[in-house]
Amino acid sequence: MVDTAQIWLPDAESTNKCGKSLAYTLYEKSITIGLTGSLGAGKTTFLQGFFEELGVTENVTSPTYALEQRYSTPSTDIIHIDLYRLEEKQAQELLSQTDDFDGIRCIEWIDKAGSNDICDILISIEDGKDDGRNIIVEFRDITYPTVEQIIEWRKDMSLPLHICKHCDAVADFAASLAKNMMANGTIVRPETVHRAGLIHDLMRFIDFKEGPSKGYDDSEELRSIWNTWKLQYPGLKHEAACAAFLEEHDHTHFASIVRTHGLGSHSGPLHTIEQKLLFYADKRVAEDKVVTLQKRFDDFTVRYGNGKQTDEALVWLDECKTLEKELL
């Protein structure tokens, strides 16, 4: 399963900045990143930005003759490998010596090894017109459910139509935001964000209150179906329950994106760009319409605060406005 980001970079400065953005879409502590591209395409420039954002303070150059260079930061260890001078067998032998490296392994000229199958992330940088370059980032490191599977799960859980429409609207808005960010040189996993939007409120019914309901047929049969699912995730709110459900289906890293879309400390901090995009998109969609943050805040106030603005809600609005400046 591969998610792909394609970005046009006009110069070296934008290539460096693009490299920095890669640091905010990592889901594994131990990962192999391969880079391909002709001489001077910008592979090292890209990695300089990436390493700087990870906390490397040393001057980063391509280890063409040393073959490898190691760095250590408070958050991770990094090994930078350059295969340019090696024949295929030599390249394979060198890589085999670092197969057990517990950190981020970045390999320039991965094509010299004869295969890029070991790469969790593959970055191809191609020369373009007017001294610019095209960068294609293939993400192979996380899995997510198919659209068909998500639709089937919605049916299994009898998810109300208005919740399905909300999820679809959030998914489309998040995808449009991701497209705009890529147009501005930021690496994002576009399909991952879209799928996260489609499924983020899969178990929204867990937080429904007892009593008259709006937007669905509150039948005894429906309550029975939902109670069956609730019993499987006792004490969890809908964000955490959905994340747990995804983990059970071997989508662990994808689950971490869905887990953090809710309000309040129970959802956890936002670390990656995909977490931020889903969180923000969800706060911009009222039912199935994209609205301003203020209008969404007013909607929350009426529906959940009995028309009263709480200190917690005001903090939420300020945080969302700060995030909006970062993303837009």
Residue-wise pLDDT tens digits, 22-48: 999 999 989 999 999 998 889 999 999
Digit-coded pLDDT (tens) for 274-316 = 999 999 999 999 999 999 999 988 887 777 667 777 777 788 8
The mean predicted confidence, pLDDT, of the chain is 92
DSSP of 187-209: ---HHHHHHHHHHTTTTGGGGPP
What's the whole-number mean pLDDT along residues 85-100?
Answer: 96
Residue 37 to residue 91: CA distance in whole angstroms: 17
How many separate helices (H) and strands (E) can be counted in the chain? Answer: 12, 9
What are the phi and psi torsion angles at 4 (to 5°)? -130, 135
Cα–Cα distance measured from residue 77 to residue 260, given in angstroms and rounded to the nearest whole number: 26
pTM of the full structure: 0.94
**pLDDT number for residue 216:** 65
| Rounded distance between C-alpha atoms, residue 28 and residue 104, angstroms | 9
Confidence check: pLDDT of 131 > 80: no
Lowest mean pLDDT among 96-100, 266-270, 282-286: 266-270
Q: How much is the pLDDT for 266?
A: 52
Tell me the one-letter amino acid at 74.
P
Q: Report residue 267's pLDDT band, with 50, 70 and 90 as the boundaries.
A: low
325 vs 313, which has greater pLDDT? 325
What domains, with CATH codes, occur in the chain?
A: 3-139 (3.40.50.300), 147-327 (1.10.3210)
- For position 162, what pLDDT does the model report? 94
* pLDDT tens-digit map of 137-196: 999 999 999 999 999 999 999 999 999 999 999 999 999 999 999 999 999 999 999 999
| Contact predicate 47/60, CB 8 Å | yes
Check whether 72 has a pLDDT greater than 60.
yes
